Chains A and B, each alone.
Chain A
Amino acid sequence: MRLSLTSRLSVTSALLPALTVTLVVYLGATSWTAWMSLTNSRMLPNNNFVGLRQYELLLSNDRWITSVHNIIVYGVLFVSLALLIGFLLAVAIDQRVRAEDTIRSIYLYPYSMSFVVTGLVWQWLLNPTLGIQYVLRSWGFAGATFDWIVRPETAIYCLVIAGVWQASGLVMAIMLAGLRGVDDEIWKAARVDGLPKWRVYISIIIPMMGASFATAAVLLSTAVVRLYDLPVSMTNGGPGIASEVPAKFVMDHLFERGNIGLAAAAATTMLVTVIAVVAPYLYWRARKGEVR
C-alpha cells in the first residue's frame, strides 16, 4: 500500500522522538563520551587529544583496579547464586505446593523495591553491633562473627547477599514460566522409564531451558554492569575503597573529582564490555526470530 503524503508526514512525526533520541542521545552521547576519553578533559570537557593516555592512567589507577576486581567477584557470585537459587525456588514451587501464589509473592516482592531500599535494609541487618551478629551471640553462639560489612576483604560479599536477595525472585519468575512450558509428555516418558525426578531435572529439563537461563543471565549481567545504587547506599564504596564498582568510579570522577577524561575512559571501557556480552545474545535471539 502506497502511503499518501499526509500519512507519511504523520508516521514521520510519530517517529521523530525515537529518531532524535537514537541519533542525538544514543549515538551522539556515546560518541562524545568515547571522544572525551581520548582527551585530557578535567573539570570541563576540552578537545586536547592525548591518545590512549587516559586508558593507561585508568589501568594504573588503584581504585579502578579494585572496582574491576570487585565487579568480577560480584558479577560471578551474583549471577551464579541468583540463577541457582532462582531455579531451585522455581522447581520447588513447580511441585504442586500449597499456597503457591503466596509463596511466589514472598520470593518476588524484593524485586519491586529499589536498590537504595535494599542496600539500607541490609546495611542495618549486617551492622555488627546491633544486627545479625548480635542476634547470633545473644542466642549463645558467643564467638559468632558476622562483621563482613566493616572488613575490607569481605565487604563486597555483603553486596552479593543483598543483590541476590533482591534479584532471585526475578529469576524464579522467569524459570517458573520456562518450567510450565515443558511438555507433559516428557514427564510421562520419564516416569515410564522410572527415572528419579532429580535426574529428569538435571539431564532433561535444564538442557531444555537454555532460553530461560540465557534471558535471566543477560538480565542479571546488565544489572551487574549498572551496579551503582546498591554500593552507594549500603557501603558507599567502603570501608576505604573496598567495595568500589566501575559505575561509581565513573560518577565520582565526573561529578566530584573533576576528571572527565578518566571517567569517560572508564565509561567507554564499560560500554565495550557490555557490547561484547550483549551483541552475541541479541544476534542469537534475532536469528531465532524471537526478538520480543
Chain B
Amino acid sequence: MSATALKSGRPKRVNPARWGLYAFILITALYFLLPLYVMIVTSLKPMAEIRQGHLLALPASPSLAAWVKAWTSACTGLTCEGIRVGFFNSLRILVPSVVISITVGSLTGYALSLWRVRGANILFGAMMVVAFIPYQVFIYPLVRVFSFTGLGQSLATIVTIHTIFGLPTMTLLFRNYFTSLPVELFKAARIDGAGFYQIYARIMMPMATPMIVVAVILQTTGIWNDFILGLVFAGRDNLPMTVQLNNIVNSTQGERAYNVDMAATLLTALLPLVIYFGSGRWFVRGIAAGAVKG
C-alpha cells in the first residue's frame, strides 16, 4: 500500500520508538494468543498433570485421550455421547439456515434496491432498527407463535428463527451491493423482457458472487456461534454445539475434567477458526459489511 509507505517517510532504522512499538505488538499478541495456547496444551495433558498446576507448561507426554473423550463420551446433562451430538446438530441447523437466510435476504435486497416499491425505505429502515434490538424483546412471543403453529421447538423452528434474525443484515448486504452495480445492466435486461425472478437468478446473483461469499462467512460464523436462539428454539433433540458445550463444562458433578472441557471447547471453536484463518480478508470484509448489525 503506497499510502502507508509514505506515512512514516524516513527509512527504516532501529530506534527506541521502533523497539517500543515491537515490544507493544509482542506483548499484546501474547495476550491475545494466551487463551488459545492454554486451551491447546490443557487439552493434551492428562488430569494428573493438570492438577500439578503448570498451566503454561507444555504437556509432558501429549495425548489425544481428552479429545477422544470430548468427542465420543463426555456427558451433556443426562446423556454421555460427547460433543459430536452437538456438532451434527449444529451442522443440521447451519446448512439450511445459511442457504435459506441468504436466499431470502438477497431476494429482499434485490427487490428493495432495483425495483421501485412503495414504502421500500420504511421497510428497510424498520429492519435496520430491529438489527439492534436485543433478542429478549422478541423471544417469548415467538415461542408462543411457534407453539401455536405446531412447530414448537424443532429443526424447522430454529432454521426459521435464524432466517428471521439474519434478514436485516443479509438484506442490507445485498441491497448495498445491488445499488452499487451499474443500473444500465438492470435496464437492459428489463428492455429485453426479462422478468423479476429471471433477472435475479440469471444476472444479479451470478454477479453477486463476492457478496455471497461474504454472506456465507458471516452467517456461518454467526449461526455456529449462536447460543441463546438454539437454547430456546431448537428443542432438546437439536441443541447446537455451543449449548452442549456449556452443558458439558458447567453441569459436571464432582471434579472437572479440564482437559476434556478444553478439548470440547476447541472442537466447538474449530469451524469458525478454520473459516477465519482460511478466508483471510474475506472475514474482515464480512465484518465491515455487517458492521451495522454486530
**Residues of chain A whose beta carbon lies under 8 Å from any beta carbon of chain B:** 1, 3, 6-7, 10-11, 14-15, 17-19, 21-22, 24-30, 32-33, 36, 45, 85, 88-89, 92-97, 101, 103, 105-118, 120-125, 129-132, 134-135, 138, 165, 168-170, 173-174, 177, 180, 184, 187-188, 191, 197, 215, 218-220, 222-223, 225-226, 228-229, 232-233, 236, 246-247, 250-251, 254-255, 260, 263-264, 266-268, 270-271, 274-275, 278-279, 282, 286, 291-292
Contact = CB atoms under 8 A, between A and B. Distances in A.
Contact of A254 (B36, B140, B171): B140
Contacts of A110: 32, 35
B284 A173 contact: yes
A146 to B, nearest CB: 12
A14 B197 CA distance: 9
B60 interface: no
Interface of B: 1, 3-9, 12, 21-22, 24-25, 28-29, 31-36, 38-39, 42, 50-51, 53-56, 104, 107-108, 110-112, 115-117, 123, 125-130, 132-142, 144-145, 163-164, 167, 171-172, 176, 190, 195-197, 200, 221, 224-228, 232, 242, 245-246, 249-250, 258, 261-262, 265, 268-269, 272-273, 275-277, 280, 283-284, 287-288, 291-292, 294
Contact of B141 (A29, A93, A111, A114): A29
A106 B33 contact: yes
Contacts of B275: 112
Given A114-B242, A174-B287, 17 more contacts: A11-B117, A14-B110, A15-B117, A22-B127, A25-B138, A27-B126, A97-B21, A108-B276, A111-B287, A114-B225, A121-B262, A130-B53, A132-B55, A229-B228, A246-B136, A251-B136, A275-B133
B137 A30 contact: yes
A117 B22 contact: no
Contacts of B246: 116, 120, 232-233
Nearest to B248: A120
A178 to B, nearest CB: 11
B140 A278 contact: no
Given A19-B123, A36-B140, A247-B134, A97 B258 contact: no
The B contact surface, by secondary structure, is helix
Contact of A29 (B111, B138, B277, B294): B138
Nearest to A89: B28
Contacts of A222: 132, 294
Contacts of A220: 294
A95 B209 CA distance: 34
Nearest to B33: A106
Contacts of A254: 139-140
A232 B245 CA distance: 12
Given A94-B7, A117-B245, A219-B294, A10 B196 contact: yes
Contact of A184 (B7, B126, B140, B283): B7
Nearest to B268: A117
Contact of A271 (B6, B128, B134, B269): B134
Contacts of B12: 96
Contacts of A282: 125, 128-129
A261 to B, nearest CB: 11
A94 B284 CA distance: 16
22 contacts: A10-B197, A14-B200, A15-B123, A18-B112, A19-B123, A22-B130, A26-B133, A33-B137, A97-B25, A108-B283, A112-B273, A113-B273, A116-B227, A124-B258, A174-B288, A180-B1, A184-B6, A247-B134, A274-B134, A278-B132, A292-B176, A292-B291
A109 B6 contact: no
A232 B226 CA distance: 13
Nearest to A105: B277
Contacts of B132: 218, 222, 274, 278
Contacts of A121: 35, 38-39, 262, 265
Contact of A120 (B172, B224, B265): B265
A177 B288 contact: yes
Question: Which of B34, B133, B139 counts the most chain A CB atoms within 10 A?
Answer: B133
A26 B138 contact: yes
Nearest to B109: A18
B137 to A, nearest CB: 5
B48 to A, nearest CB: 13
B36 A109 contact: yes
Contacts of B115: 3, 7, 11
Given A121-B38, A131-B55, A114 B269 contact: yes
Contacts of A32: 140-141
Given A3-B116, A109-B32, A92 B167 contact: no
Contacts of B50: 130
Contacts of B36: 109
B32 to A, nearest CB: 5
Given A130-B258, A254-B139, A22 B225 contact: no
Contacts of B111: 11, 14-15
B54 A115 contact: no
Contacts of B4: 94, 96, 180
